[in-house]
Amino acid sequence: MFERCLYFNVNALARAVNRIWDEAFAVFELSPSHAYLLRLVLASPGLTPKQISQELKLEKSTVTRFLNALQDRGLLRRRKVISDAREQAIYPTRKAEKIATDLEHKGDQLYQKMVGSIGKSSMTALVRQMRDIEKNI
């Protein structure tokens, strides 16, 4: 009945993936979204909330909530941007830097788990297709 239903199938896949990712990042007491935002800032310190929202494809208000939560946990800090005092740059704290390698390792483990489940070429093609479709919808 739902073979042609993009909505149903995308959401069914998202629920399955969310269960796996939720369990994986629970060891850090982070949601997958918080963990990926933190990984992004660890990889590129000094990003602005606008840049983070563009990279993660999240609304700026959602990013602000995530940043607040991560700052409250002592994982991120904000600094005013010298060229524009209204803008903030986001930096990891030492506490975040201490778990950076473990976060990256967890991301690698999840990738390998998916490659093991569906194959590398299928994984690569699926992610590329999903990104292309999202741009075109």
Domain 6-136 sits in CATH at: 1.10.10.10
Q: Between residues 2 and 60, which one has the greater pLDDT?
A: 60
Rounded CA-CA distance 60/65 in Å is 9
pTM of the complete model: 0.89
Residue 90 has phi, psi (to 5 degrees) of: -110, 130
Provide the pLDDT for residue 68: 97
Provide the pLDDT for residue 36: 97
pLDDT tens digit sequence for 33-74: 999 999 999 999 999 999 999 999 999 999 999 999 999 999
In sequence order, which residues have a C-beta less than 8 Å from that of residue 96 and are 6 or more positions away?
38, 41, 42, 70, 75, 76
Q: For residues 79-110, b (16+ Cβ closer than 10 Å) or e, as one string?
A: eeeeeeeeebbbbbeeebeebeeebeebbeeb
pLDDT tens digit sequence for 74-109: 999 999 888 777 889 999 999 999 999 999 999 999
